[in-house]
Structure 1
Amino acid sequence: MSMISNLRKAVRLTHIRQRRVDLSHPARSPLGSSVVNCVVYRDGLRQDDCAAYEAIARVRKSGRGFVWIGLHEPTEAEFAGVAELFGLHPLAVEDAVHAQQRPKLEQYGDTLFTVLKTARYVEHDKLTATSEVVETGDIMVFTGADFVITVRHGGHGSLGPLREGLETVPDQLSKGPAAVLHAITDHVVDQYLAVTSAVHEDIEQVETDVFSDHHGRGTDAGRIYQLKRELLELKRAVAPLGRPLERLAEVPLPGIEADLRTYFRDAADHLARATEQVNSFDELLNSILQANIAQVTMAQNEDMRKISAWVAILAVPTMICGLYGMNFDHMPELRWTYGYPLAVGVMAVACFVIHRGFRRNGWL
């Protein structure tokens, strides 16, 4: 497993150095508007960049190495030439051109077609009911005996740092296209773990705010629902990838040697951890939401008790004033000098006694 650790370390260092470099920009794609890079690798070492047809011709003539072509959001017309050159299946080509695919692994003859969902945590100063927390994209990978074709969709998830990290570990890169597929899947799964860690901090903040809200007015319900929506998007990226990684780790497939299946098994273990975290976050958010709803219900019940208590207090003077407002000729103490002060005193004493009783019972 030391090889995996060295590879991850190299990728992280390269990513830090080139964090602000967008390798998908047309100005950085000398081979075309959608082709990011086209490189021949031989014995784990990078050869000169060249066009796709020339690269695969070199590889097949020498019988050594493989070609790695990276594309970013190609159109059908732009991808048609590459698909014809490498004999890619039309169904896989259609999926590669159109984004928003479900993670999967399909075999077309000796070619494997893998769909991965990338994830990125969107930084924000303060979580609101409309904050975007998780952004997803797509990476499609075609792997054959002597080629790797990566198709990326989305504004993040550049494979440039990953490629440079791999180039610092030629022993791993010399294992061929399957090693590149493992590096990409491992990189994507590591992104999942980073996103879940950041989302966990948001959940902890919301949880703290909910249980510190002594007024119970439910001001955090919108943020909780937003986190659940964003977590659902992350779950759609993480959960379906489990089955493809299990196949790569357990089932003999073209180009996947037995020693490489061990590396895929390690990535599957990391994915299982990410899946467990996402599921636990979903359950935790449900609990926080239920607690928030309970707080709102308790606050409403408290308000209703207060309103009912004041209604009961005011009912006494209302009743007395109503009786003496009927203006009948024969009413007790109607002509008495102290009738008015007595009526006011009775109302005041009655209101005080009732108010004190409600205070004792916790209604006021």
Structure 2
Amino acid sequence: MIVDCAHYRDGRRQHEGPMPLEEAAARCAQGGFVWLGLFEPAPEELATVREGFGLHELAVEDAQAHHLRPKAERYEDGTELIILRTARYDDDREEVDSGEISVFLAEHFVITVRQGIASELAGARNRLERSPELLRTGSTSTLWAILDQVVDSYAPVVTELERDIEEIEATVFSGTVAPTERIYFLRREATDFYRVVHPLLAVLARRLQPGRSAPELLPYFRDVHDHLLLVNEEVAAQRDLLATVLEANIAVISVEQNRINLRQTATMERLTIVATVFLPLSFVVGFFGQNFGWLVDHIGSLSAFVALNVGGLLLPCLLLYIWLRRRRARPAPPVPGANSAVRHTPRAPMG
């Protein structure tokens, strides 16, 4: 779909309203340059554009493919293809949306092919039209306007990612376990965003080489390059910080798991002691609860009851108590070699 098409000459837009592709291609021979903007065009529409402007078939294939990294390619006819990745932070989903812009740059035309919703270029066109001194430098001025808007759109993404990281960081370093999935997702987003930003440095560095851009545009390209360097450093720092936060969260999870294990161990120890105490008692009670004749004939007085029944209950408890005290007071066996002195063999004097 054609979003906008305009012919620029002497720093001014030469017409208003829609322009057919045939007319746009014909205006390339009238001086100045044509800027054709397309949004998610169909293959048939791109084929028509290729025929009208004489684009290289490999360049058109690249414009239709999805790229993970920005790149710049120059073809035999002098046409350049610059692939840019765009980014936008979605507040509702707390995710980063990405898009792609393919720029066909030649002396007499500029064709931009946008993919994805995060690739708006109306602001770049309007800003450039308000700067006739830049438009007079030629079609390369459009590349500066596009790069400037794309790089400026990275700053809000960095800010929002920083806010999300600070929230996770505050949770982890307060001793509370944070969702590991959220940390991993943020790290993946920061890594993907780094792949969007970092390769663009090489693309901008080529524009700063002698003869690649008009002298009037060099300060503007350097300004965009400086902004991109800052974004690149911040994104790299965010990736490293998220790796540290992920490790810290794993450590917090380990500490919390150890606490749970200690509580479970203490509970099991108490239950074991109770079971150990009641085991001999249950045996004694069960033994004396049998209806043997000897038991019935000989336990007929209070003294016999106390001696055989109550005493039979207290004696196992006393023996168990003495055994537990002696076991707790017994020192731990020494670890072989733990306290042995390290013997140093004197070295023979050299020479």
TM-score by length of 1: 0.76
2:35 maps to a residue whose letter is W
CA distance in structure 2 between the partners assigned to 1:343 and 1:299 by the alignment: 39
Encode CA deviations 1:54-89: one digit per residue, 9 max, x unaligned.
23423413x3x2111000111221011211221111
Q: 2:21 maps to what in 1? A: 52
Higher relative contact order (CA 8 A, sep 6+): 1
1:144 maps to a residue whose letter is A
Alignment of 1:119-268 (within 5 A): 119-124=87-92, 131-212=93-174, 214=175, 216=176, 218-250=177-209, 252-253=211-212, 256-268=213-225
CA distance in structure 2 between the partners assigned to 1:265 and 1:340 by the alignment: 93
Q: CA deviation at 1:313?
A: 2.7
Encode CA deviations 1:214-263: one digit per residue, 9 max, x unaligned.
4x4x342121111112222212211221211111112533xx22332332
> Bigger shift: 284-293 or 169-178?
169-178
Question: Are residue 95 (structure 1) and residue 62 (structure 2) matched?
Answer: yes
Q: 1:273 to 1:100 in 2, by over 3 A?
A: same
Alignment of 1:70-85 (within 5 A): 70-85=37-52
1:233 maps to a residue whose letter is D
Q: CA deviation at 1:346?
A: 9.9
Match of 1:278, SS state, is: helix
Report how many aligned residue pairs link the two structures. 304
Alignment of 1:31-42 (within 5 A): 34-42=1-9
Encode CA deviations 1:91-120: one digit per residue, 9 max, x unaligned.
001111233353101111321110000000
Match of 1:258, SS state, is: coil
Q: 1:204 to 1:101 in 2, by over 3 A?
A: closer
Question: Are residue 113 (structure 1) and residue 75 (structure 2) matched?
Answer: no
CA distance in structure 2 between the partners assigned to 1:156 and 1:287 by the alignment: 30
RMSD: 2.8
TM-score by length of 2: 0.79
Q: 1:74 to 1:344 in 2, by over 3 A?
A: same
Q: 2:327 maps to what in 1? A: none
Does the Cα contact within 8 Å between 2:89 and 2:96 map onto a contact in 1?
Answer: yes
Does the Cα contact within 8 Å between 1:56 and 1:66 map onto a contact in 2?
Answer: no
CA distance in structure 1 between the partners assigned to 2:65 and 2:115 by the alignment: 9
Encode CA deviations 1:302-357: one digit per residue, 9 max, x unaligned.
12122222222332232222223335679xx7724466578789999x99xxxxxx
CA distance in structure 2 between the partners assigned to 1:307 and 1:334 by the alignment: 40
Q: Which runs of 5+ in 1 are unaligned?
A: 1-33, 125-130, 352-364
Q: Which runs of 5+ in 2 are unaligned?
A: 289-294, 296-305, 325-351
Encode CA deviations 1:7-43: one digit per residue, 9 max, x unaligned.
xxxxxxxxxxxxxxxxxxxxxxxxxxx1111101112
Does the Cα contact within 8 Å between 1:75 and 1:97 map onto a contact in 2?
Answer: no
Does the Cα contact within 8 Å between 2:87 and 2:96 map onto a contact in 1?
Answer: yes
CA distance in structure 2 between the partners assigned to 1:313 and 1:334 by the alignment: 30
2:5 maps to a residue whose letter is C
1:54 maps to a residue whose letter is E
Does the Cα contact within 8 Å between 2:134 and 2:217 map onto a contact in 1?
Answer: no
Q: 2:341 maps to what in 1? A: none
Q: 1:346 to 1:296 in 2, by over 3 A?
A: farther
Q: 1:334 to 1:172 in 2, by over 3 A?
A: farther
Does the Cα contact within 8 Å between 1:192 and 1:274 map onto a contact in 2?
Answer: yes
Does the Cα contact within 8 Å between 2:123 and 2:149 map onto a contact in 1?
Answer: no
Q: 1:168 to 1:114 in 2, by over 3 A?
A: same
Q: Percent identity?
A: 39
